[in-house]
Structure 1
Amino acid sequence: MTLAHLLLLTIKVSILFLVFTIGLSARREDAIYLVQHRALFLRSILAMNVIMVVVAAAIAALFHLPRPVSIALVALAVSPVPPILANKQRGAGGSATYTIGLLVAASLMAIVLAPLAVRLVGAAFGHDTGISALKIGFIELTSVIAPLAAGIAVRHYAPAFADRIARPVSAAAMALLVAACLPVLFVAWPAVWAMVGNGVAVALAAFTLIGLLVGHQLGGPEPKDRTVLALATGTRHPGIAMAIASVNFPDERAALAVVLYHLVIGTLVSIPYIKWRRRVAGATQGV
């Protein structure tokens, strides 16, 4: 196993444990929340997997991005909620129940929507692309559904134990994720920096900003739901996006690095929004 493969494996494992810690504070009812709120479910999928796919394709065309980067951008648009975002959503005043429900629903819908969207956009760009629903389903099962279900099970049968291990496991997983991402970003920096002049950084920032706006508008009348959907629409699951990019461009390491750089850029761009929503939530609680 090469160092690159080891780092990617470490990233996947750290994300798995982050999802597990989300489950440690969740209930079974949270996982099926959107089944009982169909209007919110439809708006969520519309924002994340329909509008943002069109936005990603439009940004790629507008900035004349290199083809691998264009597909990486579309891969982000069809990927589900990033697990590392859950704490930020709740910290910004978002609904914890909706956060869990959206994580589950978006992951399941990605199995169907991601292959379809990638093929449609690939045809539009004149490039033969595709990733099987089976492969995406396996990734979703192992990186989202299974660890989340395991965390919920631990919470249900041993709540005191879940409370005791949630914080240390989350901290260790986040430290592991950072430690694994930094070398990848450092090694791929020359390739990514060479594309900065082509508008890659601006395109990634624009994707997040538009995603925040779209999610906020479609989140509905409830302020907590708006916060959750805005942050989920603006940033996505890096593991799924990297899988799609690696299948279509196995020799383009820069495409994988672009996905990771979106984590950094998306986080920075989201900070003002998170602070604003935190103030709104605080003002609402104070009334």
Structure 2
Amino acid sequence: MDLQAITDVVGAVSVPLFAVASMAAVGLGQTVRQFIAPLSSFRLLVSGTVANFLVAPGLALVLTALLPIPADARMGLMVLACAAGAPFALKLTRLAGGDMPTASALLAVMLVATTVFMPMALPLLLPGVEVSSGSIAAVLIPTMLLPLGAAITVRQLRPGLARRLQGPVQRLSFWSMLVMLANQFVADHRELAGLIGTGTVLAIVLFTLANLGAGWALGTAKPGVGAIVGISASQRNMGVATLVAVANFGDSSAVVTVVLAGFLALILLLPLTWLAGRVGTSWQANRLRHG
């Protein structure tokens, strides 16, 4: 078996496994009441929706129009811009010292909204490019909605079992993400190298940072959730974006762009959210000391 065949097999397993495990890990921590909690906060719901489904795609459109980006990379960035609800955002929120129940609830709502938004938005954002709404829905339902719904049901009916399962499922999600990234880099290293001098890297960096800043600003409409909305908007759902890109643009550099964007986002957001958490902790300590 040659290297290409091996990477194909590893990709066929690791990509959907990462998506399903990520959704299940979120659902195992959510009761039905927690899942619908964001619906009672109008400002949180509006700021999260605007940041994820208006600002993010809008930024992608602007950046791909202004920067010299290949057509395939443009498709990948658009897919990523429509994919909200990244489970890894919870780890970043913890680093930033954000409220975890609020972040988890918003994440769950963004996941469901993505399954509705992507099939409608991508054909509009990529005019002239053949995008199958049906194939997008066919990918999202079994890898997002069904695992999420099943896990929430387990959490609701068997909370003890859900608590025992959540840790192993979270680890499975993390390791499958690492395998997916490494495998994609091995399989597409030539295509990745070809993107380096095209403006694609700059577009990804600007896209990530601008989403973080815009989401944070929008989130301040509700006290205490600026970091949560900022992280939600900047950390896109790489697993779902990869699945959709493979299903619709499998022979192009769109998939490589999604993987590269996911990798660069981690490099950018891990230190930034850690720093935000340290600054926030220091500020609170000073406030208590002098209060």
The structure 2 residue matched to 1:38, chosen from 37, 42, 61, is: 42
The one-letter amino acid of 1:150's match is A
The aligned residue for residue 66 of structure 2 is 62
Distance 2:159 2:117 in 1: 35
Q: Identity of paired residues, percent?
A: 21
Distance 1:135 1:102 in 2: 26
Distance 1:247 1:83 in 2: 21
User: Are 2:278 and 1:274 aligned?
Assistant: no
Higher deviation after alignment, 46-55 or 88-97:
88-97
The one-letter amino acid of 2:161's match is F
Rate the CA distance shift 1:146–1:86 in 2: closer, same or farther, 3 A.
Answer: farther
The structure 1 residue matched to 2:53, chosen from 49, 54, 58, is: 49
Pairs within 5 Å for 1:52-201? 52-123=56-127, 127-132=128-133, 134-201=134-201
Rate the CA distance shift 1:176–1:247 in 2: closer, same or farther, 3 A.
Answer: closer
Rate the CA distance shift 1:160–1:66 in 2: closer, same or farther, 3 A.
Answer: same
Offset, 1:13 = 1.1
The answer as to whether partners of 2:48 and 2:232 remain within 8 angstroms in 1 is no
Rate the CA distance shift 1:224–1:8 in 2: closer, same or farther, 3 A.
Answer: farther
Distance 1:120 1:168 in 2: 39
Aligned length: 282
The one-letter amino acid of 1:23's match is G
The one-letter amino acid of 1:234's match is S
Compute the TM-score of the two structures, normalised by the length of structure 2.
Answer: 0.86
Distance 2:187 2:56 in 1: 29
Rate the CA distance shift 1:165–1:112 in 2: closer, same or farther, 3 A.
Answer: closer
User: Are 2:8 and 1:7 aligned?
Assistant: no
Distance 1:250 1:169 in 2: 28
Distance 2:23 2:283 in 1: 29
Higher deviation after alignment, 176-185 or 59-68:
176-185
Pairs within 5 Å for 1:209-224? 209-222=209-222, 224=224
Pairs within 5 Å for 1:230-269? 230-252=230-252, 254-269=253-268
Rate the CA distance shift 1:177–1:271 in 2: closer, same or farther, 3 A.
Answer: closer
The answer as to whether partners of 2:69 and 2:198 remain within 8 angstroms in 1 is yes
Rate the CA distance shift 1:280–1:152 in 2: closer, same or farther, 3 A.
Answer: farther
The answer as to whether partners of 1:89 and 1:228 remain within 8 angstroms in 2 is yes
Distance 1:248 1:77 in 2: 15
Compute the TM-score of the two structures, normalised by the length of structure 1.
Answer: 0.87
Rate the CA distance shift 1:269–1:179 in 2: closer, same or farther, 3 A.
Answer: same
SS in 2 for 1:32: helix
The answer as to whether partners of 1:72 and 1:258 remain within 8 angstroms in 2 is yes
SS in 1 for 2:114: helix
Distance 2:236 2:107 in 1: 11
